[in-house]
């Protein structure tokens, strides 16, 4: 969600953005379904709480993350680019979700399939929330 999949390290814009959040007291953490090696490499310079193989959409590791960083359901949001992992995980945990567009879609078969399944869900959401 923060960088295209083929970028194993955060760009300077990501580092600055996360620093600006920290400067105003917003706590952040990386909660990823990726493997430990990839998450650790991305987090090497950030040095923030990071959780690999998080098992999203299940809530166990999100609850652990919130406990570790000192937040709760009332002041936590999950930002992600996938409905069936990120948004569903937030819903299961009882927190708000911020769905962002993919920076660049991964081309693996599973992600492409999930993106197709997301289309009717997103259309229904847009229709329900049109004003």
Q: What are the tens digits of pLDDT across the range 3-28?
A: 988 889 999 999 999 999 999 999 99
**DSSP assignment string, 72-98:** -GGG-EEEES-IIIIIHHHHHHT-EEE
pLDDT at site 123? 81
Task: Note whether residue 38 is domain-resident.
Answer: yes
At 78-118, the pLDDT tens digits run 999 999 899 999 999 999 999 998 886 666 777 777 778 78
Between 75 and 5, the higher pLDDT residue? 75
31 near 51, Cβ under 8 Å? yes
Task: Note whether residue 111 is domain-resident.
Answer: yes
Task: Note whether residue 7 is domain-resident.
Answer: no
Task: Note whether residue 88 is domain-resident.
Answer: yes
Between 128 and 7, the higher pLDDT residue? 7
Task: Note whether residue 20 is domain-resident.
Answer: yes
Task: Note whether residue 3 is domain-resident.
Answer: no
Task: Note whether residue 105 is domain-resident.
Answer: yes
Give the range of the structural domain holding residue 96, as residue numbers without chain letter: 12-128
Give the CATH number for residue 52.
3.40.50.1000
The number of distinct structural domains making up the chain is: 1
């Amino acid at each position: 969600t923060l960088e295209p999949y083929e970028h194993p390290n955060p760009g300077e814009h990501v580092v600055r953005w996360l620093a600006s959040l920290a400067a105003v007291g917003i706590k952040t953490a990386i909660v990823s379904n990726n493997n430990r090696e990839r998450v650790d490499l991305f987090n090497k310079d950030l040095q923030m709480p990071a959780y690999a193989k998080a098992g999203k959409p299940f809530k166990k590791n999100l609850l652990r993350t919130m406990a570790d960083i000192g937040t709760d359901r009332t002041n936590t949001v999950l930002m992600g680019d996938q409905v069936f992992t990120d948004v569903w995980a937030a819903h299961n945990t009882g927190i708000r979700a911020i769905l962002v567009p993919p920076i660049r879609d991964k081309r693996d078969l599973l992600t492409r399939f999930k993106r197709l399944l997301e289309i009717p869900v997103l259309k229904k959401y847009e229709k329900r929330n049109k004003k």
